[in-house]
A and B are shown apart, each in its own frame.
Chain A
Amino acid sequence: DQQVKQNSPSLSVQEGRISILNCDYTNSMFDYFLWYKKYPAEGPTFLISISSIKDKNEDGRFTVFLNKSAKHLSLHIVPSQPGDSAVYFCAAIYSGNTPLVFGKGTRLSVIA
């Protein structure tokens, strides 16, 4: 059973608009959430994270929102740029020494 779910396999957005990528989780013990970005033939790279004690974290064009009661988080990218086209993975973790659990990813295409 998937503990971290990304139900949209793909998303297409026009350049300059907002991209919203969604992620749901089932394990209420998760206390830290991360987003990774992956280009073809490269490993995932860390993008942004949020602790469960917060509901929002912002870094430049990227903002992650966490709704603990709904067990839902989202990544907002605004404005979207063609270079943002990649696969985005949501990941979650609990305690310091357990491994990250990843979703299946969402492929974002930003169209110029």
Chain B
Amino acid sequence: GAGVSQTPSNKVTEKGKYVELRCDPISGHTALYWYRQSLGQGPEFLIYFQGTGAADDSGLPNDRFFAVRPEGSVSTLKIQRTERGDSAVYLCASSPTGGWGYGYTFGSGTRLTVV
């Protein structure tokens, strides 16, 4: 597609439930990033994929968070046993390679609210 697509745009879930957030990057972009933006904060890095593999998952806050990119394109961020503190906007970005020369292209994000 023309841009990075994230679905759903909004998700409200009950505490303790499982959620999946989807990211469809720009076609041909090999690098894909997940960030989380809490209220009043800048985007915080979660995980980075180069192709199908997670090149850096050091930003995942705990083992309730997991992400996959099985075919090197679409990625899914999975959160188990959601907590109210997980409420944030989850941003996905892609870039042509792992390089930073042209910055990342971000999607519009998924606003997750845990009630």
Chain B interface size, under 10 / 10 to 19 / 20 to 34 / 35 or more: 20 to 34
A93 to chain B, nearest CB (A): 5
The stretch of B65-73, B75-83, B96-104 that contacts the partner chain: B96-104
Does B1 sit within 8 A of A, measured CB to CB? no
Known: A89-B43, A93-B100, A104-B40. A99 touches B48 (CB 8 A): yes
- In the assembled complex, the Cα of A4 lies from the Cα of B41 at a distance in Å of 12
Looking at chain B's contact residues, is the secondary structure mostly helix, strand, loop, or mixed?
loop
B56 within 8 A of A: yes
B43 engages A44 (CB within 8 Å): yes
Q: How far is the CA of A99 from the CA of B105 in the complex (A)?
A: 13
Contact between B102 and A89, CB atoms less than 8 A apart: no
Q: How near does chain B come to A32, taking the closest CB pair, in angstroms? A: 5
Interface size on A, residues (CB 8 A): 26
B36-59 near A? 1/0 per residue, CB < 8 Å = 000011111100101000011001
Near B by CB (< 8 A), chain A positions 21-58 give: 32, 34, 36, 41-46, 49
What does the 1/0 interface line of B75-115 toward A look like (CB < 8 Å)?
A: 00000000000000001010001111011111111000000
Q: Is B21 an interface residue when CB atoms closer than 8 A count as contact?
A: no
| Interchain CA distance A27-B108 in the complex, whole Å | 29
A36 and B98 contact, Cβ closer than 8 Å, known pairs A89-B43, A101-B45: no
A interface residue numbers (CB < 8 A to B): 4, 6, 9, 32, 34, 36, 41-46, 49, 89, 91, 93, 96-105
